Amino acid sequence: MPQHLTEAQKSWAIAKLEENWSLSEVAAELNVRSLRVAQMRLKQSGLKNCAAARKVFLTAEHKHRRVQFANEFLIHGEEFWNNVVFSDEKTFQSCNSGRLRVYRPRNTRF
């Protein structure tokens, strides 16, 4: 494999990685024996490995339930809200979250 990918190889690799091909599958097609070499070649060609962005879409039911929840709390006065503690949520897992890794050109949304 050449030091850098050609534009055609780079385009092909991006297309296959966007189709959720694994890096090992792409490397095999490009005749690269080492995954580390494949990673380096992709990086040298301007592609970076990152976790795929998750986009959670709200359904009509979600929206309805949010409004319903908010309306239920409209009746509470200041004394009620003075006793409320607001906090952020974070989920922790002891196993792999299964987060998909993707290769994308630099400075693009992943």
Task: Spell out the domain ranges in the chain.
Answer: 7-80+101-105
CB 42 within 8 A of CB 25: no
Query: Under DSSP, is residue 69 helix (H, G, I), strand (E, B) or coil?
Result: helix
pLDDT of residue 36: 84
Ranges in the chain, pLDDT < 70: 1-4, 91-98, 109-110
Q: What is the pLDDT of residue 1?
A: 44
The Cα–Cα gap between 85 and 40 comes to 48
